A and B are shown apart, each in its own frame.
Chain A
């Protein structure tokens, strides 16, 4: 375990140094990430300013969902999601072999290669939004925080599973940068209160393609709207993660190259 953290720290140091070579680009990219992540909350704000609302959800409650979404991305993107980009470029260039030769598991090496300190900027936008949303709501109970913590881990598991599925797909569908569009479009369902969808669709979003677990379910726990039946959502997230790991390794077996 100590070795794993040493590897992560070492790669992060190198990546930060690399980014510092283009400091203005780095800081602009962080600002952009923050601005980009605040886009959906801005639309929510504009809708509520017009006098409309999501039925049964106050502005702060709706923003809490989007804040949780931002926080989850702020952790998952710099750590796991970079593997999508690294698989995309390394497989296209034929240099993925170099990761396979290193004395660590291929999945870990792919994750390490994709570590992206720039994406930590998302934590800022998610954190600010989360704090702002909470400031307009009654303080959550202790049980709510415990439940939230567990479901937030489930949220990270779902995002990790998504990055594994997309990364695995790129072993076959070489060089298609549009996997990001697929991710953005599918997960956009998870940025709004689940109650705006039909009941059957909510079930689909929680147990089959669990985008609802990314933000809606953890936020509901914090608002005291979710019972312990959300354990089912946690199990769905765990299964989704296992499916992602199995899928990634199966797709890796299909990877071929001529030596980079």
Chain B
């Protein structure tokens, strides 16, 4: 166990150093994040003219929702799908198949390293910009629950993306599938608009899908209240539900991973 933790630390640190060489790539978020938020600010300010609440949100809560969702996204951002598909398509996966560590754990360690750098280059500056420039309330209602929820969202985002990446073992070129799926995932996670804006029947479907646990649930845990498809759930119960969904997703990912490994053949690179 200690050796595994040591390996995760080493891989994470190597990824951190690798991406630190391309820090300007990450620092673009300092422009892109506030610009997107400014667009949201103008849109919702106009939409809320003449109305105080919309689908249970006041203007202030709506701006908080987008601000919180954006900063959480910087903590949980993931591209394991792209990476895995690239390794499979180019044949480089074989070098990972030979290592004494499952690739999913290697990818998770890489994500930890990548997001550690993202924490400093993206999360902290944007958190401060949103807090002091836009005046977004960024203090969680229940800090402990918020931290747990974001940690679970980090894992859920990774596992969903990794499962998408695993499709490369069955499809020759899975880029199209990946992009379609990721778009649906972002919509269903509530990244573009809170899920309560969807029609009732859509909300009921979204309630039973794992995607809400990536953005919508941690954002609502951060705010301190949750409602979807007519269900209002307390924060501790919601986080417990998130634990269950994350565990289920982990089982699904491992099953898919083992099926993919049985299918994999390589001839060297």
- Report the Cα distance A47→B42, complex, angstroms: 14
A46 to B51, CA, bound (A): 16
Interface of B is mostly: helix
Is the pair A46, B198 in contact by a Cβ cutoff of 8 Å? yes
Q: Per-residue CB proximity of B182-205 to A under 8 Å, as 1/0? A: 010001000011000111000000
Distance in angstroms between the alpha carbons of A196 and B31 in the assembled complex: 21
Q: In the complex, which residues of chain B have a beta carbon less than 8 angstroms from the beta carbon of A197?
A: 42
- By beta carbon, the residue of chain B nearest A40 is B192
Cβ-defined contact, B42 with A52, below 8 A: no
A39 & B197 in contact (Cβ 8 Å cutoff): no
Chain B nearest CB, measured from A140 CB (Å): 24
| Contact yes or no, A29 B179, CB < 8 A | yes
Contact size range, B: 35 or more
**Contact indicator per residue, chain B 48-67, by CB within 8 Å of chain A (1) or not (0):** 11110011000000000000
Contact B49 A55 (CB under 8 A): yes
Asked whether any CB of chain A lies closer than 8 Å to the CB of B39, the reply is yes
Query: Bound complex: CA of A185 vs CA of B39, how far in Å?
Result: 8
With A25-B173, A28-B176, A181-B32 in contact, do A196 and B43 touch (Cβ < 8 Å)? yes
Query: What's the interface size class on A, roughly?
Result: 35 or more
Q: A196–B45 contact, CB under 8 A?
A: yes
B-binding residues in A (CB < 8 A) = 22, 24-29, 31-32, 35-36, 39, 42-43, 46-47, 49-55, 173, 176-178, 181-182, 184-186, 188-189, 192-193, 195-197, 201
Residues of B within 8 A of A (CB): 24-25, 28-29, 31-32, 35-36, 39, 42-43, 45-51, 54-55, 171-173, 175-177, 179-180, 183, 187, 192-193, 197-199
Q: List 14 A-B contacts (CB under 8 A).
A: A24-B173, A26-B176, A35-B183, A43-B193, A43-B197, A47-B54, A52-B51, A178-B28, A182-B28, A182-B32, A184-B32, A185-B32, A188-B36, A192-B43
